[in-house]
C-alpha cells in the first residue's frame, strides 16, 4: 500500500519546494523527512514578499507546511 509520504522518497537528493501556511516558500535539496513532514533541506532558499534569502542548511518544522512539491524537471 502506497503512502503519501512515499512521494518524497523519490525526491531525496533533489530540490523540493515547500509552501508554508504563512505564504512563505522555501526550496532546498531534500536530505531527510519524517511522518510529521519535518524536513531537512540543504542549499535552501526562502522566498517571501521581501525577495529571496539564502538559508543554507535548514530544518523546517512540519506543522508549518501547506504542501510540498518536487521541482518540475521540465
9 binds a second copy (CB under 8 A): no
27 binds a second copy (CB under 8 A): no
Distance (Å, whole) CA 33 – CA 43: 16
Residue from the set 15, 25, 29, 38 that interacts with a second copy by CB under 8 A: 38
52 binds a second copy (CB under 8 A): no
CB 11 within 8 A of CB 72: no
52 or 66: whose CB is closer to a second copy? 66
To a second copy, the closest distance from the beta carbon of 21 in angstroms equals 7
C-alpha distances (whole Å) from 12 to each of 48, 49, 51, 69 are 24, 28, 26, 12
Amino acid at each position: 500500500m502506497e503512502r503519501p509520504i512515499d512521494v518524497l522518497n523519490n525526491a531525496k537528493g533533489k530540490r523540493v519546494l515547500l509552501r508554508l501556511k504563512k505564504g512563505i516558500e522555501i526550496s532546498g535539496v531534500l536530505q531527510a523527512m519524517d511522518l510529521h513532514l519535518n524536513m531537512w533541506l540543504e542549499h535552501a532558499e526562502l522566498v517571501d514578499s521581501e525577495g529571496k534569502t539564502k538559508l543554507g542548511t535548514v530544518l523546517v518544522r512540519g506543522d508549518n507546511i501547506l504542501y510540498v512539491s518536487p521541482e518540475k524537471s521540465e
